[in-house]
Amino acid sequence: MSTRDWAGRLHLPTLAALVVVLAGWTLLSRRYGAYVLPAPGSIVTGFAEIVRSGEIWTHTAASLARIAVGFGLAVLLSLLMGLGAFASRTARGIVADVLAILNSTSVFVWIVISLIWFGLSNWAPIFTTFMITLPVVASNLVEGVAAVDRRLLEMGDVYRLSEYEKFTAIVIPSTLPYLVAGTKVGFGLALKVSVVAEIFGVTSGIGYVMNYSREILATQMVFVWALVMVLIMVATDKLLFDTLNRRLARWR
């Protein structure tokens, strides 16, 4: 194996870039102080503290529970919308128009509306997560339905397959990659949106604790919880979505 191959496997270019970033970060921290930019070492120390105290599990679990409800409902409704788009051309047009409207609506609008409707409760971040991730997942799924090879469906008619058989043997395998891609992007968006929405009105979760840290001038902990978000996203990508993609490739 060549030196270039070894460097690629060990991610040496990325590690070298990381060293440069950390060195620059350390210099800027010394220049502007810990309130503006905490040193990398203090963030590692803070992360170890929340792991040792168990605080990381409490707030992470609270955020993930809200995401699971809001994002789960969005995926469920997306499946129904995709099914409707497959069954009827009229329904496909309606779904496309609805998604265009939802895609053009700002996160801030849904946060304000959620506070008006649900007040200072868990349903505010859940509703916001649902409304923001729904068009992302549904758009991918509807695109997958539109991309189903019509010649395969016609072949199913020739072999006298029932609608159920055509759906399970042709439509589902064709649209699953779009669903997985949509849920991958949607989950990342759900995490970001839910954390923003948690700033308003809840007393647990990553967004809440980041905002509380800002209020007490603990900038170090803001960075620590930002690191927690990054780790959640990386772990989800590698352990869940990459595994799904590999199994999907083998299944197809």
SS3 199: coil
User: Could you say which residues of the chain have pLDDT below 50?
Assistant: 1, 6-7
Question: By C-alpha distance, which of 208, 92, 187 is closest to 148?
Answer: 92
* All residues at 6 or more sequence positions from 101 whose CB lies less than 8 Å from its CB, including other chains: none
Q: Which fold has domain 38-251?
A: MetI-like fold (1.10.3720)
Distance CA(44)–CA(75), nearest Å, equals 35
Q: Are 181 and 140 in contact (CB under 8 A)?
A: yes
Q: Where are the alpha helices (DSSP H) in 198-241?
A: 206-215, 219-236
Task: List all residues 6 or more positions away from 75 whose beta carbon is below 8 Å from its beta carbon.
Answer: 137, 183, 186
pLDDT in tens, 39-73: 888 999 999 999 999 999 999 999 999 999 999 99
Give the phi and the psi of residue 170 in degrees, each rounded to 5. -120, -55
The token pair that represents 36 in the structure block: 């503006």
Asked if 186 and 76 touch (Cβ cutoff 8 Å), the reply is no
Q: Which helix (H) or strand (E) holds 23?
A: helix 12-32
Residue 124 contacts residue 115 (beta carbons within 8 Å): yes
Specify the pLDDT at position 119: 80
Measured CA to CA in angstroms, residue 247 lies from 79, 93, 95 at distances of: 20, 33, 30
- Dihedral pair phi/psi, residue 148, rounded to 5°: -60, 130
Question: Residue 7's pLDDT is what?
Answer: 47
How do the domains of the chain map onto residue ranges? 1-32, 38-251
Half-sphere exposure of 235 (CA within 13 A, CB side): 7
Q: Which residues contact 148 (CB under 8 A, 6 or more apart)?
A: 86, 170, 171, 174, 175
pLDDT for 251: 57
Residue-wise pLDDT tens digits, 97-111: 888 888 888 888 988
In the chain, what is the straight-line distance between the N-terminal and C-terminal CA atoms, in Å?
A: 32
